[in-house]
Amino acid sequence: MLNVIDLTSTLVRKYKPNERKFARYNASDLWGIVNGYHDPKTWFLGHSVKPHEAYRMWQGKWKHRQVQELLEDDYTLEQKQEVQHKDFVLVGMVDAMNSEFLLEIKTSDSVMPKAKEWAKYQTKIYCSMFQLPKGYIVQPIVKGQSIIL
């Protein structure tokens, strides 16, 4: 008889932080670095991910994929860009974009009344990297019979 299959260690292993490389920064990390939320040692060496954090990332990944499935006819998805600046490389991957603007999809469990400062910072960096005049921070919401961003 099968009692329980514990997937916790697999989930945590799959969502460990990406390996960091000297002089190579992800746009999504910059706000934390600039504002002192990541000290250099912790940022470079990474930190352990707690099970509830890994679960939230897993859920967010699937929400992203679901929204992107609905955008794929009109937007370029998961577009990566690397920009060399002096002695470092800035790396960014935008969730969705067209020729006029980009979308940065956020997947919080609760409806966010306004975008967080780090998300605004990240979106501005993406606009610069992808040379687009506008970027929108969006969140999928079910409202009545509609799914809106």
Quote the mean pLDDT of the chain.
91
Report whether pLDDT(11) > 90: yes
User: What is the per-residue pLDDT across 38-88, written as a single tens digit (0 to 9) for each?
Assistant: 777 777 777 788 999 999 999 999 999 999 999 999 999 999 999 998 998
Containing H/E element for 100? none
Report whether pLDDT(124) > 90: yes
In the chain, % of residues over pLDDT 70: 100
pTM above 0.95, yes or no: no
In sequence order, the 6+-apart residues with CB closer than 8 A to the CB of 139 are: 105, 106, 107, 108, 111, 112, 149
pLDDT for residue 47: 76
Nearest-angstrom CA–CA distance, 139 and 64: 10
In sequence order, the 6+-apart residues with CB closer than 8 A to the CB of 121 are: 30, 31, 34
User: What is the per-residue pLDDT across 102-123, written as a single tens digit (0 to 9) for each?
Assistant: 999 999 888 899 999 999 999 9
Nearest-angstrom CA–CA distance, 34 and 87: 17
Locate 114 and state its tokens.
């306004």
Q: What angle do CA 118, 121, 122 make, to 5 degrees?
A: 85
